[in-house]
Chain A
Amino acid sequence: MPILERGRLVGIAFVNWADHHPFTEDDLAFVRTVANRVQSAVAGLQAEAEQRVLNEEISHRLKNTFAMVISIAMQTLRSVSERAPVDAFVRRIHALSSAHDVLLRQSWTAAPAKEVMRAVLANAGHDDRIDLAGPELDLGPRATLSLSLLLHELATNAAKYGALSVPDGRVAVGWRFEGEDEGREVSLDWTERGGPPPTPPANTGRKGFGSRLINLGLVGTGGVDLRYPPSGFQATMRAPLVQLQHS
């Protein structure tokens, strides 16, 4: 029995009977069903394999593009004597790249929050001093990128002025679900301890890009509360669960 895929012959089902056997309509229908199921299973596997190859290719190109962006920045900004903004730019690109890495491993659909956080904090070089705790939560592609940039800024600030600026300081990152059904929110706490007492930023002039990134919150719409108790800087960020998962 021939198996066709879009009019093209892709396989033939052979049936052998030990003795002489006239095929009934039922027999033929059965063979046809088996043949079709085998064919769709094979097609599914093929599609998966193709998707994997495609993902790897996209990942490869993306990584190369990030490397190109950094190369262009380094060449373009070579003569700039103030290196801090140049370094900050390159580090942010690395943070973005680490977020894409995690997304790619999940075929761009959703990324486990803990993995995203671990990757971006490892990229910032502080993962051994940041404790992560929270329920399982999958993030959509957009939330993955914005959370990564946000945590990158928080970690950078902690390393400059906060708990990570001294050898014994630590940071706890904890998240939980609040509310029910459609109103369900994710609340994420960043708590520094063991560092110098924080000083709230002076409210003068334009805010730097870093603090603006932080104030954008988990999904770019705010919901950020920053506190400066003597024990260390604290931030609480909230966003609707639906937005975190589907954007």
Chain B
Amino acid sequence: MGQGMPPARSVVLVVEDEPLQRLMAVDLVEEAGFDVVDVAGADEAVLVLESRPDIRVVFTDIDMPGGLDGMRFAATIRDRWPPIELVIVSGRRRPRADELPARGVFFSKPYKKEEITAVIRRMAG
């Protein structure tokens, strides 16, 4: 891996509180050919976003305990970092289109690896 890649690889931030699911998400992003930073919650994610201007895509679970509610977190990103693309996953009911932040793409859990990979490639590739 890594050979022949352009010098500035897009970075994807994975936000998932459940450790096993986070591991899988990290693998998925790496296999898709991107660099990855992973955190367990929204508060941490905001800190990362404040210090890493190279993040192009945030891939986030929105069923997160404590701190910022997942949907509000997604809205915050859209607000503070408008160029960042959002991939949102949840085990709860599919949000209505007007509840999703602009350009946000939603997948129900359990999500399909190929579908997420395709969307992240389109967004960050």
Chain A residues at the B interface, C-beta cutoff of 8 Å: 56, 59-61, 63-64, 66-72, 74-75, 78, 90, 93-94, 97, 101
Contacts and interface: CB of A to CB of B under 8 A. Distances in A.
B93 interface: yes
Contacts of A94: 110, 112
A70 B111 CA distance: 9
Which label, helix, strand, loop or mixed, suits the secondary structure of the A interface?
A: helix
Interface string B21-39: 1011001000000000000
Contacts of B93: 56
Contacts of B20: 68, 71-72, 75
A88 B111 CA distance: 15
B18 A64 contact: yes
A112 B108 CA distance: 21
A75 B28 CA distance: 11
16 contacts: A59-B92, A60-B92, A63-B108, A64-B63, A64-B91, A64-B109, A66-B109, A66-B110, A70-B24, A70-B110, A74-B24, A74-B27, A75-B20, A75-B23, A78-B27, A97-B110
Contacts of A60: 63, 91-92
Contacts of A90: 113
Contacts of B63: 60, 64
Contacts of B21: 67-68, 71
B38 to A, nearest CB: 14
Interface of B: 18, 20-21, 23-24, 27, 63, 91-93, 108-113
Contact of B109 (A56, A63, A74): A63
Instruction: Provide the main secondary structure of the chain B interface.
Output: loop
In the A-B complex, the 7 residue pairs with the closest CB atoms: A63-B91, A67-B110, A71-B24, A71-B20, A66-B110, A67-B109, A64-B91
Given A70-B110, A75-B20, 8 more contacts: A60-B92, A63-B108, A63-B110, A64-B63, A64-B109, A74-B24, A78-B27, A94-B112
A59 B24 CA distance: 21
Contacts of B24: 70-71, 74-75
A76 to B, nearest CB: 10
A89 to B, nearest CB: 12
Contacts of B113: 74, 90
Contacts of B18: 64, 67-68
Contacts of B112: 94
Contacts of B108: 63, 101
A75 B21 CA distance: 10
Contacts of A101: 108
Nearest to A90: B113
Contact of B111 (A59, A67, A68, A69): A67
B69 to A, nearest CB: 15
Contacts of B27: 74-75, 78
A219 B109 CA distance: 27
Contacts of A93: 110
Nearest to B108: A63
